[in-house]
DNA sequence: AAGTGGTCTAGACCACTAT
DNA sequence: TAGTGGTCTAGACCACTTT
C-alpha cells in the first residue's frame, strides 16, 4: 500500500538524498535543549506527545531521541521519562588521533631492537595471570617513519608451545597486532593511558630531551577465551599522538 | 491482536525481565565473530537471511546488529552488506575514571588562589577568538579533598558586560562549570588531554616532586552559539585520574 | 489506574552496490 | 536486475514509575 504520509521525494535529484526525518527531529530537539527551552535535569515531553506534535511515528521520534542519547544530551528512564543531562566532562570519551597518517604511510615500519626470554616477575605475572618465573618472550620495538622514531614499544608475550612464535611473527604480530589486532588470535584489549617522563635511554632513542612529557599506553591483550596473551606499553611522545574529546553541543 | 510469536513471559517471575531477543541475537553473533566463524573483513549474512534463520523480524535483527556496530565489531555499508571489522586500538575511546568518588565527597571543594584581569595574548586570543589585549578574567583554583590538593586549575574567561561574573560566581562556575557545565551558559566543550611535567610551583601546591608525571586537561568552553566563553587547563597528577579503554571482546 | 519508555512484529519505499 | 542496508509507518504487549 502506498504510504500517504511519506514525503514525495520524486522531485529530489538523484544522489541528493534528503536529510532523514529522525535527524531533522533530533536537530530540532537539540536546538530546544541548547537554547535553554529545556534546561538541565528537566523532563522533556513523552514520546507519545512528541509524536503527536511532530506528526512523526513514535518509532521515528524514538530514533531521533536515541541520537540525542548517543550525544549525551538526554537520558531516558523507563516509566519516568526522558531528561536533559548536565554537561559533564567526566563522562567525556577521548579518542586517539594523529597517528593514522603515519600508520598508513609506506615508510612506516617497526624495527625490532631486542628479543629475549625473560622469567616473569610482578607485575607482569599479575597482568598475564602466570606463576612467577614462567618464561616469557620479551621484545622491544622502535616504530619509525623514515629515519625518525615515532614511538617505542616493549612487551611480554606468553610462550605457548601450541602457538609457536618466530621472531619475524613477533615483529609483525606486535606491530600490526597491537595496532590492528592479530587476525584469529587477539580478540580484545584492555588499555590505559598514563603520563610518562622519558628516561635517558628512551629520550636518546626518540631523539628528544630527557624528561620530555609523553604518554605511556599500557595494554593487555586477550584471546577469545578472555585469557591474557601479552602485555606491554607504548611510549608515545606528546607530538606523536593526540587525545581529544568533545562534550555537549557539537563544535565543527 | 495477540501476537502468536511473542514468547510466553507469563511464567517469568515479576522483576525478572528476560533478556531481550535482540541482545540474545547480538550475543550469538558476537560469539560467531569472536570464535573465528566470521573473520576480519568477512561479510556476514544479510539482514534478510539472518532474519529468516533466526526466526526474528528484520527490525529485531537490525537492532541486534546495531549493538555490534556500537561495540565496533562490525561495520555496515549500504548496498554492500555488513562486515567484520579489524581490532584497532587507534579507534579506542578512553574514559576518565577515578574522580567521581572525590567529586561526590562532601569534603571536596575548590579554593580560589588568585583572580585578576589580564590582557589577552596568544594563544589565548586564538582559542577565545578575541583581539589581542582584550581584558580577560584570569583565575586559579586548587581542587581539594580535606587538606589534600587533588588538581590545579587555571583559566581565562571573557568578561562580557552582559554577563557579569562575581568572584564567587567564578569560583562556582569554574568548578562546577568545568566539571558539570554551568547551567544555561556552557553548552559544549572541546577537550584535549596532554602529558605534562609538574613545574616547581605546581609540585609545591600538589605536594609532589618536581617533574612528576601528570595530565594536563586543556579545554575551551562554548555557549549555545558555539562562541568561546573560557579556556584553561587542569593539572591532574597521575594518581588523581585514570584514562582507560577496552576494545574488542568485552572483558569483565 | 495512567503514563512512560523498552521490545517486537509486519510491511513498505528508498538509495546504493554489484552483477 | 537483484540484493543490501536506511528510513518510515502502524500497532501491540510488557515492565516500570508515579499518581
* CATH (domain of A73): 1.10.10.10
Q: Which nucleotides of C are covered by protein (CB under 7 A)?
A: 3-18
**One domain for residues B125 and B109:** yes
Give pLDDT tens digits along chain B (252 positions).
333 333 433 333 333 456 788 888 999 898 888 877 888 888 999 888 888 888 888 999 999 999 999 888 889 988 888 998 877 777 788 998 887 777 667 677 777 788 889 899 999 999 999 999 999 988 888 888 888 888 998 889 888 777 665 554 555 455 555 555 555 577 888 999 999 999 999 999 999 999 899 999 999 988 888 899 889 999 999 888 999 998 877 776
Could you give the 3-state DSSP secondary structure of residue A113? strand
Q: Are B105 and B252 in contact (CB under 8 A)?
A: no
Q: In chain A, which residue's Cα lies nearest the Cα of B245?
A: A191
Q: What is the mean pLDDT of residues A188-207?
A: 92
* B236 and B119 belong to one structural domain: yes
Neighbours of A252 (CB within 10 A): 3
CB-CB under 8 Å, A100 with B40: no
Report the C-alpha gap between A6 and A23 in whole angstroms. 15
Same domain flag for B16 and B126: no
Q: Does A20 touch chain B (CB under 8 A)?
A: no
Are residues B221 and B117 located together in one domain of the fold? yes
Can you tell me the distance from the alpha carbon of B86 to that of A183, in angstroms, rounded to the nearest whole number?
Answer: 8
Residue A182 — very low, low, confident or very high, per pLDDT cuts 50/70/90? low
B1 is a domain residue: no
Instruction: Report which secondary-structure segment, H or E, holds A101.
Output: helix A100-104
Residue where a domain terminates, one of A87, A104, A124: A87
Same domain, B224 and B131: yes
Residue B38 to residue B28: CA distance in whole angstroms: 12
Task: Identify whether A114 is part of a domain.
Answer: yes
pLDDT at A12: 35
* Domain membership flag for residue B35: yes
B 122-161 residues inside an 8 A Cβ radius of A: none
8 A C-beta contact, residue B111 and residue B144: yes
Does A174 map to a domain? yes
| A247 touches B: beta carbon within 8 Å | yes
**Domain's final residue, options B57, B87, B117:** B87
pLDDT at B111: 78
**The predicted structure's pLDDT at residue B176:** 55
Reported confidence tier of residue A183, pLDDT bands at 50, 70, 90: low
- A83 with A99, same domain: the answer is no
Q: What is the CATH number of the domain that holds B172?
A: 3.40.1410.10
Judgement on whether residues B39 and B116 belong to the same structural domain of the protein: no
Out of B88, B197, B222, whose CB is closest to A181? B88
Is A4 contained in some domain?
no
Verify that B167 and B208 share a domain, yes or no.
Answer: yes
Residue B164: per-residue pLDDT: 61
- Predicted confidence (pLDDT) per residue in A214-236, tens digit: 999 999 988 888 899 889 999 99
Q: Is residue B251 part of a domain?
A: no
Same domain, A64 and A102: no
Beta carbons of B174 and B206 less than 8 angstroms apart: no
- The single residue listed with the C-alpha cell 555496515 is B76
Q: Which of B59, B89, B234 to mutate to test the interface with A (most CBs of A within 10 A)?
A: B89
Look up residue B220 and give its three cell numbers: 575551551
Q: What is the pTM of this model?
A: 0.82
Residue B3, in any domain of the structure: no
Average pLDDT over residues A159-169: 62
Of B88, B197, B226, the CB nearest to A249: B226
Q: A235 in a domain, yes or no?
A: yes
B185 close contact with A: CB closer than 8 A? no
State the residue range of the domain holding A195. Answer: 95-244
Amino acid at each position: 500500500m502506498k504510504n500517504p504520509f511519506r514525503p514525495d521525494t520524486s522531485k529530489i535529484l538523484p544522489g541528493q538524498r534528503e536529510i532523514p526525518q529522525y535527524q531533522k527531529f533530533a536537530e530540532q530537539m537539540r536546538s530546544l535543549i541548547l537554547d535553554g527551552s529545556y534546561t538541565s535535569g528537566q523532563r522533556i515531553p513523552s514520546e507519545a506527545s512528541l509524536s503527536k506534535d511532530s506528526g512523526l511515528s513514535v518509532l521515528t521520534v524514538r530514533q531521533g531521541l536515541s541520537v540525542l542519547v548517543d550525544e549525551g544530551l538526554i537520558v531516558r528512564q523507563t516509566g519516568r521519562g526522558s531528561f536533559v543531562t548536565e554537561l559533564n566532562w567526566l563522562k567525556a570519551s577521548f579518542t586517539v588521533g594523529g597517528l593514522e597518517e603515519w600508520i598508513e604511510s609506506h615508510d612506516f615500519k617497526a624495527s625490532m631492537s631486542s628479543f629475549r626470554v625473560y622469567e616473569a616477575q610482578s607485575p607482569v605475572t599479575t597482568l598475564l595471570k602466570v606463576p612467577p618465573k614462567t618464561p616469557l618472550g620479551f621484545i622491544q620495538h622502535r616504530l619509525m617513519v623514515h629515519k625518525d622514531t615515532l614511538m617505542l614499544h616493549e612487551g611480554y608475550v606468553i610462550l605457548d608451545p601450541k602457538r609457536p612464535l618466530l621472531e619475524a611473527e613477533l615483529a609483525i604480530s606486535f606491530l600490526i597486532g597491537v595496532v590492528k589486532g592479530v587476525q584469529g588470535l587477539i580478540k580484545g584489549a584492555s588499555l590505559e593511558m598514563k603520563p610518562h617522563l622519558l628516561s635517558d635511554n628512551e629520550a636518546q632513542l626518540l631523539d628528544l630531551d630527557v624528561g620530555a612529557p609523553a604518554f605511556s599506553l599500557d595494554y593487555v591483550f586477550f584471546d577469545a577465551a578472555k585469557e591474557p596473551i601479552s602485555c606491554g606499553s607504548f611510549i608515545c611522545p606528546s607530538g606523536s599522538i593526540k587525545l581529544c574529546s568533545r562534550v555537549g553541543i557539537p563544535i565543527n
